[in-house]
Amino acid sequence: MSKKPAKRHIKKISPAKKSPNNLPGSVPNASSPGVMKVDPSIEKAIQKVFFGYVIRMMLTLFLTILTAIIVVHFVKADKTLTPGIVFMSVMLGLVFSYRRGVAQVFLEVRKLGSERLAQRRYADAVFALEHFHRIGNMGFDRDGRAHYELMLAYHGMGQADRAKNMAEWLTKYRSRSQYTAKLVASSGTATVIAEDQESVRAPEDASTADSAAPRQ
């Protein structure tokens, strides 16, 4: 009489559960190494900020020209003076909106960079804060905060040379800044990064556009 083959018991292995910090788009916790890839959302957010500024400038230009024409019409000024009056009105309107508008734009960009740095999304922080280290834009980092946080982001990315360059820039061009004082007090980039990597937070809502105004 032949024996029946013994039944094999196969144990089902359930798939490993993903922790919330491993999910796409999640914010890394304090023990995670950080995110080194730029999230498309940060690109869209910054594009939205600049696009909104362009729309506001165009609207300001239109309203300024319209106001100038209406004023000239009701005042009944000499027609030969109309082009000059319109031109001066447009220039004054553009200068005012530029100074206030651009300062606000860079304040919002810095806020985005600071938020991503606090979340250890280093690539996103670099993408946002590098806008302050371009020719013509450095003056919008009046207190040196953007370059200081860019230094931290570079270090988080493992780009020690760039972090060192930012530290040297701060020392040279923002020598009176409180952030430069931190570098000097800690005698180098590595020490200050160790102290501040956990403490970087987004700017407070009380910040105004004046803090991002170009440095004269």
Tens-of-pLDDT digits for all 216 residues of the chain? 555 555 555 444 444 444 333 333 333 443 456 788 999 999 999 999 999 888 888 888 788 778 877 877 777 766 677 777 777 877 877 777 776 788 889 999 999 999 999 999 999 999 999 999 999 899 999 999 999 999 999 999 999 999 999 999 999 999 999 999 988 887 655 455 555 655 555 444 444 444 455 554
User: In the structure encoding, which two tokens stand for residue 87, read together?
Assistant: 């031109």
- Rounded Cα–Cα distance for residues 3 and 9 (Å): 18
The overall pTM is greater than 0.85: no
Picking from 90, 137, 133, 110, the residue whose alpha carbon sits closest to that of residue 46 is 110
- What is each CA distance from 10 to 4, 7, 38, 138, in whole angstroms? 18, 9, 44, 65
- Rounded Cα–Cα distance for residues 27 and 172 (Å): 35
- What is each CA distance from 60 to 32, 64, 67, 91, 105, in whole angstroms? 46, 6, 10, 11, 16
